[in-house]
Amino acid sequence: MSSFTSLDNTKLSILQDANRKLHISDDLSLERNKNIIFIYCPPKVGSTTLVTSLRLFAIHKYTIVHIHDEAMLKRLGNITNVTVNEIISYNSSLGKNVYVIDIYRTPIERKISVFFEKIATHHFNNAEIKINNYNVNKLIHRFNKLFPHIAISDYYLDHNRYNMPLLEAVDFSKKFILQEVDNIKYVKLRLKDADGWPTALTKILDTPVYIVKDYDTASKPLKDIYTMFSHQYKIPENYFSMIEACDKLQYYYSVEEREQYLNQWRNRKTADFTPYTDDEYIFYDKLCIENQHINDVQINHYIDNGCICVACSARRKRMSTRIMNGEKIMGKIIHDDEVVAYAKRPQNKLKQPNRPK
């Protein structure tokens, strides 16, 4: 771990400010401030479900921070001139118990999900309700033009992200990787094992965890066209060869798991397809950004946004109880709404559920 005692005042000030903007407290008299979980992984791998689940069941014990990259740091709080890894290492240097959790998702499904995440705001610059009425072949053609350029990173296998030695082989029987480097515990999960996450996370974090599905593409306004796309998509032969040779699939899946996955797509192959070249993709991406007129900033993205005020905590307790009882939950924990609802209860009239600093 890097030493932060020798940092110049400017860098130290940036790190302290980043913690403040990410609502990471340095008051170690509270247990949840001593323990911190960074959900640090690429988009569309199941991280929102993991974040919501941990907030609902572990927020009393852990501070939970969800971050994709440095661009997200800038969007969240105009945090610049610092990397995610520096923030992680800085918090470890303060004596905190730090976990970093990443997730692997199979490549074709992840690419489709990433494509649909910005299909309206970025790729077609149109309202989601109108995208729902597009000819699915038009979407498939655009997706195939982009296929090699979408969702290619993996933070654990990318040395520049975690800067740590990789395990030579994965113990597939454990269903997760747990590796401690410089007092930071790195956890790698697989989305295919989501049903087993409660057992794994309860063991790793030493607190009971249940999983609640959150932000699933199949439940959004685009669900009709997304479902049609998923059912009709056939992978071009040259793209299948690319997936077959994928080093990440080979690393995270056993031989049997990999063959089972590839066999699902062998029967869904079609002729070779010519994608955008690197230069064409760069031009395409810049043009989409220039043309974009729909705001893609997501407000109240999670079922549980992580507020620990009295009102939000009361709603969280009710929701987690329902989940543990196998019941469905409705709605989201939104601070302003919870304050209003909380104040209406006679027993709470004299309490002030202000948002914690």
How far CA 116 is from CA of 122, 128, 131, 218, 237, in Å, comes to 10, 10, 10, 10, 22
Confidence of residue 1 (pLDDT cuts 50, 70, 90): very low
Confidence of residue 167 (pLDDT cuts 50, 70, 90): confident
* Higher pLDDT pick, 222 / 283: 283
The whole-angstrom separation of Cα 198 and Cα 5 is: 38
pLDDT > 90 in the chain, percent: 69
pLDDT, residue 87, reads: 95
pLDDT, residue 171, reads: 81
pLDDT, residue 349, reads: 56
**Digit-coded pLDDT (tens) for 257-276:** 999 999 999 999 999 999 99
Among 66, 35, 40, residue whose Cα is nearest residue 189: 40
Give the amino acid at 349: K
pLDDT for 82 beyond 90: yes
Q: Where are the domains of the chain?
A: 13-105+154-215, 107-153+216-291, 307-357
Least confident of 205-209, 285-289, 350-354: 350-354
pLDDT for 236 beyond 80: yes
Q: Which two tokens stand for residue 266?
A: 């062998």
Segment 157-177 mean pLDDT: 79
The whole-angstrom separation of Cα 341 and Cα 353 is: 11
* Higher pLDDT pick, 168 / 304: 304
pLDDT > 70 in the chain, percent: 91
For 119, list phi and psi in degrees, rounded to 5.
-65, -35
The whole-angstrom separation of Cα 91 and Cα 37 is: 11
Q: Which two tokens stand for residue 282?
A: 């760069």
pLDDT, residue 348, reads: 65
CB 70 within 8 A of CB 337: no
Which of 5-9, 38-42, 346-350 tops mean pLDDT? 38-42
3-state SS, residue 35 = strand
Q: Distance of alpha carbon 335 from its chain centroid, rounded?
A: 22
Packing angle of the helix pair 310-324, 335-344 (nearest 10 deg): 90
pLDDT for 65 beyond 90: yes
CB 134 within 8 A of CB 123: no
pLDDT, residue 50, reads: 94
The whole-angstrom separation of Cα 63 and Cα 52 is: 12
**Digit-coded pLDDT (tens) for 99-148:** 999 999 999 999 999 999 999 999 999 988 899 999 999 999 999 999 99
pLDDT, residue 104, reads: 95
- Whether this model's pTM surpasses 0.75: yes
- DSSP letters, 26-40, are --TTSHHHHEEEEEE
Segment 3-21 mean pLDDT: 83
pLDDT for 357 beyond 50: no
pLDDT, residue 347, reads: 66
Residue 185: how many other CB atoms lie within 10 Å: 17
Segment 165-170 mean pLDDT: 79
Give the amino acid at 339: V
Mean pLDDT of the chain: 89
The whole-angstrom separation of Cα 46 and Cα 190 is: 9
**Digit-coded pLDDT (tens) for 188-223:** 999 999 999 999 999 999 999 999 987 566 557 898
